[in-house]
Structures are given as structure tokens and as C-alpha cells.
Amino acid sequence: MVERVAYDEFSYFHENASEFGLPYDGPPTVRRESVPLGDGRSLSALVWGTAPPELVLVHGGAQNAHTWDTVAMALGRPLVAVDLPGHGHSDGPKEGRSTDPMSNAEDVAVAVERLAPDAAAVVGMSLGGMTSIALAGTRPELVRKLVLVDVTPGVTGKKAEAIIAFVNGPESFPSFAEILERTVQFNPTRSESSLRRGILHNAVQRDDGSWVWRHARHRAMQAEGESRPRDYGSLWDMVESYPGPLMLLRGMRQGSVVDDADEAELRTRRPDARIEHVVEAGHSIQGDDPLELARLVEEFVFGS
């Protein structure tokens, strides 16, 4: 008999609050929305609060909207956290490639128009940051301010090799214990409880008891798309021409994919950009130091 692991995506907020010392008087108001994309696919998102969303949060590759839970709780503002195509609860990408920022931006634009057309800023981490740059370059009216979380168009496979090694691991795992063991191995600075919570949000248990990452469900169809050459040069041009205020948050611990050359390139192209070093974080600033990320976003976007 297969042992099933119970999962309710809205039942873990007390753990987020406890881990980071946030006040907690009950679950926040969060709902899941599905936005039709007009071609039979839909994009899923978490909508926090009941007022018009003030922020749009876009997660990184192989993650999902719940990566922002602690940040959202710390901010305490109405916002939308999207699941990128091929991630979380969203349908697969349009052309079999969920790592294409331009294609992702087309889909995210539909969700932002529907759920958060008046948001004060878009916050994008890693692949979500690249997608947010593409969104700002093609639909600047939807991106009034732009926050990049540990990413620039200078990202390379070498800089992200540790992340790629983790993502390109086994497609499935025989048990929860094995998927947890691998996750702990690649995330030594994170608590086991937070990693367990992250797995429950980011993986699904099959009928035979095995586990598969939600993003890995589309791995076979993405392989063909990944064979196409990538050129992020046009995204640098979009950064330069983007008319709104821009901030880069750079993790300073091991694992960050942003180096001094990237920072220098950003300063050259956008002398007005605000750049903040988050000393106690690596690449996933929202997981390593979510309270500092929330503080910096609050200050940059809302001036407080």
C-alpha cells in the first residue's frame, strides 16, 4: 500500500512566520487564480489580499509562486505571485521551453493585465527576473518599477552550474525521503523544515508513491527547446532602454549568479540603477533573507 503524504498549499504559513519571527494571528488571505492564455493553456497565480494588487512577484527557474510566501507575509501588501509556464500549477510553455524569457513574458503579461494591471512594481528572481526584463522591454506600461533579484542578462551556465546540476538531477524519486535528501545536499544553509515545505509546494506524489518536481513534468518537451542557442544580449538592451526605476538585489554569499562584471555592466548601462548587496544571502535571496528582501522592496517601491 502506498503511503500518501497530505498536502494543503495554504496550511504552512504558520511555519513561515515561526521560522522568521513574523507575527501570526491566523492564515493570511490568499487564493489561487487561473488565467486563460487564449490558446487552451492557463497561467496560475497566488493572489494575496482582497485589495487591488500593488506588486507582481515572479519566481526563478524550477521554483513556484510559494517561494515568495515569507516575503509576501513580511510585506503585508496585496500582491500577485505567478507560476511561470511549466512551473507550479501553470500549464506548460507555449513552444516547449519554459526557460525562454521572451515567451514567458508574453504569458505573464496576460496574467498581469488580468490580475494586477496597476501594480507599482514587478519583482523578478533569476529566470523570473529575466522574464521581468522582457516584460519591461515589451510591455513597459505593466512595469512601473523593476526589481531584479540576483540576476542580470550576464548570467551564464558556468555561473549557474550548481543550480543547473540540482535542476538536472533525477526526474523522479522513489520516496519523499530521497527527494528531501537531495534537496538538503544542495541547500546546506537552509533549515530542513523550510526545504520540506518547499518540496511539498514544488513536487507532486504519483500514484505509485514516487515524487516528481512539478517543473520536471515538462522536461521531455523542453529538451528540444533547450537545444536552441540562447542570446541574452537583447535583454541588456531592454534593461538600458527601460524607462522606469530599477533596482538590483545581489546575493553576496556562495551560490549567487551575479558577479562584479555584471554589476559593472549594469552601472554602465543604467547609472541611475539602485544596487543593494544582501550579505546574508546567496542566489535565492527570498529564501535566505526574505525579511531583508521585503524591507528593500518596500523602501524602493513605496518609499518607506
Nearest CA to 57 among 303, 290, 299?
A: 290
From 83, 91, 150, 288, the catalytic residue:
150
* Residue 224: band (very low, low, confident or very high) from pLDDT cuts 50, 70, 90: very low
Nearest CA to 201 among 35, 83, 76, 299?
A: 83
Per residue in 122-178, pLDDT (tens digit) is 999 999 999 999 999 999 999 999 999 999 999 988 899 989 899 889 989 999 999
Per residue in 78-112, pLDDT (tens digit) is 999 999 999 999 999 987 677 899 999 999 999 99
For the chain, list the domains and their CATH numbers. Answer: 13-157+231-302 (3.40.50.1820)
pTM assigned to the model: 0.95
Nearest CA to 144 among 128, 122, 113?
A: 122
pLDDT score for 232: 67
pLDDT score for 37: 98
Q: Is residue 201 flagged as an active site residue?
A: no
From 59, 215, 218, 283, the catalytic residue:
283
Q: Is residue 208 flagged as an active site residue?
A: no
Q: Is residue 83 flagged as an active site residue?
A: no
From 44, 90, 98, 126, the catalytic residue:
126
Contacts of 200-204 spanning 24+ positions with Cβ under 8 A: 200/5, 200/7, 200/12, 201/9, 201/12, 201/64, 201/66, 201/67, 201/88, 202/62, 202/63, 202/64, 202/66, 202/88, 203/179
